[in-house]
Each structure stands twice: as C-alpha cells, then as structure tokens.
Amino acid sequence: MARSHSVSLLDPAILLPAVGASFRKLDPRAMVKNPVMFVVEVVALLTTVLFVRDLITSGTGLSASGGSLGFSFQIILWLWFTVLFANFAEAVAEGRGKAQAESLRRTRTETVAKLLTGEGDAFRTVPGTSLKVGDVVLVEAGDIIPSDGEVVEGVASVNEAAITGESAPVIRESGGDRSAVTGGTTVVSDHLKVRITAAAGATFLDRMIALVEGAERQKTPNEIALNILLAGMTLIFIFATASIPSFAYYAGGSISVVVLVALFVTLIPTTIGALLSAIGIAGMDRLVRFNVLAMSGRAVEAAGDVDTLLLDKTGTITLGNRQASAFHPVRGVSEQDLADAAQLASLADETPEGRSIVVLAKEKYAIRGRDMASLNAHFVPFTAQTRMSGVDVDGSSVRKGAVDAILTYVQAGASTVTASGAVQNVRTLVSQESIREINAIAEEIAKSGGTPLAVARDGRLLGVIHLKDIVKGGIRERFAELRRMGIRTVMITGDNALTAAAIAAEAGVDDFLAQATPEAKLRLIRDEQAKGKLVAMCGDGTNDAPALAQADVGVAMNTGTVAAREAGNMVDLDSDPTKLIEIVEIGKALLMTRGSLTTFSIANDVAKYFAIIPAMFVAFYPQLGTLNVMALHSPQSAILSAIIFNALIIIALIPLALKGVAFRPIGAAALLKRNLLIYGLGGILVPFVGIKAIDLAVTALHLV
C-alpha cells in the first residue's frame, strides 16, 4: 500500500490541506509543545497588540517608540509567517502520513465475520467490529479476514496487499511460523479457522493507521534532549535581548519593542525549532515507505545507535536455498558417472537444490538436459517419510536424499518399478566399506559448511553431492560497510560450529552464534547489552519473541507469528531480514538531520547579529556602523531582511527536513567533517548572502 501510493512532496493533495493546518496549529495549546515556536507566537502576539494600540492612539503613522508603523507592520507580518511556516512544515510532514492513513482507512471496510458457534462448522454472521479476543471465526475464499488472529485450522492463500502492497498471495496455515493473519487481508483460496487475537480498534491495521498518521507520535529521547537544548538557548537569548534596553538607556538611546523582538526571534533557534517535529515525522514516514512499521520513534532512534546486529544466516546472509557445488563419488565410481546419475535423479526436481544439481552437471560435466517424457521415466517425488527423491527409467532406479535415508534405502534392498509397472526386487549391492566411505565424505562436507546429499543407483551407492550455502552477493561489502559504521555483525545459525565458522568467514561477519537456541540468543543479547551496546535483530518465530523483546531494535517479520509481532518494536511488512541494515541507516539519517539543522540554525546567528546589532545601535553609536559588514541599505531594511531571511529559510529547508540528511558509511570523523563543512560553515556563510540579497530586494521594492 505504502509503496503503491508514494506521494510526492509537491503534491497539491498534501500542500493545500497543509496550508489550512498551518493556521489551525496556531492554537497555543498545540504550540506549547514546541517551546521555541511557542515563544515566537507569544512575541508575535505581543507586538501585534502593541501595534494595534499604536495604530489607535496615534494617527501619525509613527509608533510610540518612534519607528514607522509600516515598518512595524512588516516585521509583525514576518513574525507570524515564521510561526506559520513552522506549522506548515509539520503539516506537510504529517500530510504524507495522513494521505496514506486515508487510503488504509478505505480498505478497512465494514466487514462481517462468520463467528463459529462451537458446534462443527456452524457459524452465525456478526459485524467484524463486535469480535472479541478469543473468538474463532471462519474465513472462506473471497472473505476479508475481519481482525488480526491466529490460524487454528486449515491452509489458505491470502492476499495481503492491503498491508504490504505486495499482490502475490502468501500461504497461511495453522501451527508453525506462518499462522498469523492480519485483519483487512483477503483469503484467496481455501478456508481458515482463525482465533481472534486483537480487540476491535486495536488491530494491526488500526495501529498502522495511527502510526502513519502520527497520532501516537511521542517525542523520542534525543528529540527531548534537543528540545531542552533549544529551550535553554531560547532562555539565553531572552537574557541577551531583554538586557539590551537598559544598556541602550545607559548609552542615551532607546530600542523599540518591535526591533528587539525581531532580534530575539532571529537569534533563537527557530530554524531547527520549526523543523524539529517535521524531521521526526518524516523519519517515521521514511520507514513506512520502506514498508517497515516502527511501533515508536524511540525504536527508530535506537536503530541509529545500534552497535551489534544479530542476523539470521538463512535468508539474510546466505540465499535461502543451498546449491550443488561438487560431486564426490565413492571409490570405483567416476565423477562423470555420479554426475550423470545425480542429474537424472534431479531432472524432475523443481526445488532450487534440484535445479542447481542439473546446472552443475551441465556446467562441469557437460551433461545436457534430457527430456523426461522421451525417456519414459517415472519421477519419484520427495516426501517427508522417505526424505529422498529420484527417478525410475529403463529398469534403473536412481535416488538422491539425506545420507541416512539413502543408506536405509539401499540396505533395505531397493525396489524399482519398470516401465511396464511390474515391481522387481534388486539385489543389495552395498558393502560396509562403501557405507563408511559415504559417511566420511558426508562428514567432510558438513565440516566445510555444506550439506551432503547421497546418490544411489539400483541399490548401489555412487557418491555424495555437496550442497553448499551460498553467501549472498555483495553481503561481504555490506558487512565491511557496517564495520566502518562501527556496527558489529553476529550471524545466528542452527548449524554446528564448524559449518557456522566456515560460512561466517566467507560472509565476513564479525562473529557467529552456532547451534543457536532461543535461550542462547537471549543470552547473547543480554551480554552485549551489559557491555553498554545496543542490539538489533530480526525474527519471525514464536521462540524468537523473548529475544525480539529484549533487543533494543527487534524487527518482526510480517509473515511471523503473532507472538513475534507483539514482541518486536518494528514490523517489516516485506519480511525481508536484510532490511535491518537499511533500518539502521534510516535511524542514523534521522539523528543526523536533527544535528545538522541544529548546527545550521545556530551558525546562522552570526550573520543575523551583523545585520541587526549595528542597525539597532547606530542611532546613538554611529561608530557601530563599521559592523555593518554586509553594507545593508538602512537600519530598517537590515532588520527586515534578517527577519525575512529567518522565516524563508524554514520554507527552504522543509525538503531537506523531510528527505533527511543522507547517511554515508565513511566513518564518524569523516562524516562529521563533511556535515560540519556543509551545515556549520554553510550555516555561517549562507545568511550573509541571503540577507544581503533580501536587503537588495527590500530596498528595490521600497518596502522600508
């Protein structure tokens, strides 16, 4: 869904409502949450009241303090713009989420549920909203699943496009790790019995709507700390500006309230104050568009801080499927022969492993594909009981499978079905020696991180196929990148230590946890945390739940169980464990954006001082004109230009706040140097240029 509705920044559907929202957000009860902008609103209000008073009491066009009313009016106008622009930034950031929430809401149509009464398949139809936790409902093909739940009976394919945006249906079945279903998704074939696990209004879809809408948005720890910093700086500038009238009085001059307010507002960190909440919302939004739902902003921030990444081997580090990499024949059998038999046994095997055997036989031994039909072959499929598969052709039977299964098979005496269908017993041709040999080869393969697959023909052991875990392309580079980011990767696998070590070395992870049990995983996380590190992991199984809950960032796969989804603080709708790495980068980008814009905001003050201070004091200390380094036209144009710049920079930075400052894995020092150069030095220089340009425009337009 999120993917299919990626909304552009300049979409009028967002901008227009945002303009309205900018005004609605002027409500002081809402503004007070943002101390910096609240202060701006207060002083804007104050100057407006004074302005109205001046307007009424003096008909001369001069305010009580001597400045012209037209000038005061413009300053006040831009003060209000400053507040409105801040509100606008927040509204635009929320806008995208709101639009997404809206389309999510549309999918949450009124559903009816087939509530099972408890006697067989009998049900009565009730409104979906009336379901309680623990109710069991029947969902048949074409039905929308009424609420979140767990499959208690049946297998069905479910279209989850409403949640994930992915239209290919997924299998949901009772038991195991694919038992969770989400309200709002549609059963495409078969039927399911689902036990409801979420009360009305508290479903995954509801939570998703609330999240993308930002309704539940709470300030994150770093955001709180930053707010304190900004509030503190605001206080400092209150002292700095409030003391000026006394100083001016000593010098025999006076400063009008409007000018003082203008100085104050340009000095306090309005830029970051205005964009702070937009940055936070946009950070969450980036995750949503990435099809990851963070249950709290805290989790997104924590992602940026992650020190240790626990990654499941299968699917994350290695391709989910193993591939044939070599044929190891027993003595007396040629490799060619083994390859030939293996290829034959795999011709009809459509599993990735099977296909990889055919590919290997072709590439390495030039054994071309054969047509099953023309061979008049009979395919024996894999079953959980036999744990092997194969083919019978021309009176010959070829089998491949788990080593112990094949051994059992050849020792029991192979049977083959001839083309005519008659069953014929074949003498056992297996010696103790070849069994020992097969076992030795199998052990060797296991040690190197592979899986052995034995091959037999007509009751005779031919050898072993080496199935290898294939490390994903480019993953090594990703881990090197993570290392440069200061993140340690730990591979989690059920394999034994030998196998794990081999794969870990190949993939370039920093460490591994072999024969991982849920307890071992939990212990590993706790150990890392005791060292002061933040740990991220992903998981889908019920037994992952404790570890997901313990981890600082626990990403649950959407395909996972209800328990896993409850335990994690993020849900990946695509169920792609590699995303953990991108999640970390999004977290970092969020923090970086805040830091960079704070730096920029504070650095801006230097130029503003050089615009306003001389303008303020030049009336009674003409010498201070020397500080007017920008050669601004007049004191009034200088002050007006500074306040206009201060307001416009908010608008100018909205795209950056929403897009975020991109993270680059180049090491902390280099990254800081880069950001300092752009936002620190840039923050000092840009306003000099900007204020000068605005001053030229203000002068040209005779605004003052």
Partner 1 sequence: MTSNGLIQIALFCLVVLVLTRPLGGYMTRVFAGERTFLSPVLKPVETLVFRLGGVDASREQHWLTYTIAMLLFHAGGFLLLYALMRVQDLLPFNPQGMAAVAPDLAFNTAISFITNTNWQNYGGESTMGYLVQMLGLTHQNFLSAATGIVLGMALIRGFSRASAQTVGNFWVDITRCTLYVLLPICVVFTLFLVWQGIPQTLGPYVDAATLDGGKQTLALGPVASQVAIKMLGTNGGGFFNANAAHPFENPTALSNFLQMVSIFALGAALTNVFGRMVGNEKQGWAILGAMGVLFVAGVAVTYWAEAAGTPALNALGLSGGNMEGKELRFGIVASALFAVITTAASCGAVNAMHDSFTALGGMIPLINMELGEIIVGGVGAGLYGMLLFVVITMFVAGLMVGRTPEYVGKKIEAKEVKMAMLAILILPLMMLGWTAVATVLPSAVASIANPGPHGFSEILYAFTSATANNGSAFGGLTGNTFFYNLTLASSMFVGRFLMIVPAMALAGALAAKKTVPASAGTFPTTGGLFVGLLVGVILIVGGLTFFPALSLGPIVEHLAAAAGQSFGAGG
Closest Cα to residue 151, out of 193, 196, 198, 199?
193
In the complex, the smallest distance separating the C-beta of residue 660 from partner 1, rounded to whole angstroms, is 10
Q: Is 349 annotated as a binding residue?
A: yes
Identified binder of partner 1 from the candidate list 71, 204, 512, 617, rule CB under 8 A = 617
Under 8 Å between Cβ of 294 and 554: no
Distance (Å, rounded) from C-alpha 208 to C-alpha 90?
A: 20
Residues 502-531 that bind partner 1 (CB under 8 A): 530-531
Task: Identify which range of 9-17, 29-37, 376-384, 482-490 contacts partner 1 by CB under 8 A.
Answer: 482-490
Distance (Å, rounded) from C-alpha 608 to C-alpha 95?
A: 32
Give the number of residues in contact with partner 1, rule: CB under 8 A. Answer: 76
In the complex, the smallest distance separating the C-beta of residue 294 from partner 1, rounded to whole angstroms, is 16
Nearer to partner 1, 260 or 414 (CB): 260
Nearer to partner 1, 390 or 595 (CB): 595
In the complex, the smallest distance separating the C-beta of residue 622 from partner 1, rounded to whole angstroms, is 9
Under 8 Å between Cβ of 40 and 265: yes
Nearer to partner 1, 520 or 684 (CB): 684
Place of tokens 């300092």: 676
**374: contact with partner 1 by CB under 8 A:** no
Under 8 Å between Cβ of 191 and 155: no
In the complex, the smallest distance separating the C-beta of residue 251 from partner 1, rounded to whole angstroms, is 6
Distance (Å, rounded) from C-alpha 574 to C-alpha 554?
A: 15
In the complex, the smallest distance separating the C-beta of residue 275 from partner 1, rounded to whole angstroms, is 14
DSSP code, position 76: H
Nearer to partner 1, 301 or 469 (CB): 301
Nearer to partner 1, 293 or 591 (CB): 591
**486: contact with partner 1 by CB under 8 A:** yes
Provide the 3-class DSSP secondary structure of residue 631.
coil
**688: contact with partner 1 by CB under 8 A:** no
**532: contact with partner 1 by CB under 8 A:** yes
* Burial (0-12, 13-18, 19+ Cβ within 10 Å), 65: middle
**Which CA distances in Å does 372 have to 194, 344, 368?**
42, 9, 12
Identified binder of partner 1 from the candidate list 76, 293, 603, 698, rule CB under 8 A = 603
Strands, E, within 94-226: which ranges? 112-116, 123-127, 136-139, 149-153, 155-159, 170-173, 180-181, 186-189, 192-196
Identified binder of partner 1 from the candidate list 459, 568, 595, 690, rule CB under 8 A = 595
Identified binder of partner 1 from the candidate list 485, 492, 513, 632, rule CB under 8 A = 485
**134: contact with partner 1 by CB under 8 A:** no
Q: Is 85 annotated as a binding residue?
A: no
Under 8 Å between Cβ of 422 and 392: no
Q: Is 400 annotated as a binding residue?
A: yes
Place of tokens 């981890």: 551
Q: Is 8 annotated as a binding residue?
A: no
Residues 624-643 that bind partner 1 (CB under 8 A): 624, 626-627
Residues designated as active site: 312
Nearer to partner 1, 307 or 576 (CB): 307
Provide the CA 294 distance to its chain's centre, in angstroms.
7
* φ/ψ (deg, to 5) at 171: -85, 135
**141: contact with partner 1 by CB under 8 A:** no
Q: Is 1 annotated as a binding residue?
A: no
Q: Cite the DSSP H helix spans in 306-431.
A: 335-346, 352-365, 372-375, 403-412
* Burial (0-12, 13-18, 19+ Cβ within 10 Å), 310: buried
Residues 213-252 that bind partner 1 (CB under 8 A): 221-222, 224-226, 228-229, 231-233, 235-237, 239-251
**477: contact with partner 1 by CB under 8 A:** no
Q: Is 544 annotated as a binding residue?
A: yes
**609: contact with partner 1 by CB under 8 A:** yes
Identified binder of partner 1 from the candidate list 461, 509, 580, 592, rule CB under 8 A = 592
Q: CA 575, 577, 583 angle in degrees (round to 5)?
A: 100
Q: Is 382 annotated as a binding residue?
A: yes
In the complex, the smallest distance separating the C-beta of residue 658 from partner 1, rounded to whole angstroms, is 17
Closest Cα to residue 615, out of 263, 230, 223, 315?
263
In the complex, the smallest distance separating the C-beta of residue 537 from partner 1, rounded to whole angstroms, is 18
Provide CB contacts within 8 A for 230, sequence distance 6+.
35, 36, 268, 269, 272, 273, 276, 598
* φ/ψ (deg, to 5) at 253: -125, -175
**605: contact with partner 1 by CB under 8 A:** yes
Q: Is 189 annotated as a binding residue?
A: no
Q: Is 387 annotated as a binding residue?
A: yes
**533: contact with partner 1 by CB under 8 A:** yes
Closest Cα to residue 469, out of 508, 495, 487?
495
In the complex, the smallest distance separating the C-beta of residue 595 from partner 1, rounded to whole angstroms, is 3
Place of tokens 């009772």: 174
In the complex, the smallest distance separating the C-beta of residue 174 from partner 1, rounded to whole angstroms, is 43
Nearer to partner 1, 99 or 485 (CB): 485
**623: contact with partner 1 by CB under 8 A:** yes
What is the C-alpha radius of gyration for the chain, rounded to an integer number of angstroms?
35
Provide the CA 699 distance to its chain's centre, in angstroms.
48
Identified binder of partner 1 from the candidate list 5, 362, 476, 483, rule CB under 8 A = 483
Nearer to partner 1, 28 or 221 (CB): 221
Distance (Å, rounded) from C-alpha 148 to C-alpha 51?
A: 58
Locate 76 and state its tokens.
């006040």
Residues 281-320 that bind partner 1 (CB under 8 A): 301, 304-305, 307
Please report, in range form, the residues annotated as the binding site for Mg(2+): 540, 544
Please report, in range form, the residues annotated as the binding site: 349, 353, 382-389, 400, 540, 544
Please report, in range form, the residues annotated as the binding site for ATP: 349, 353, 382-389, 400
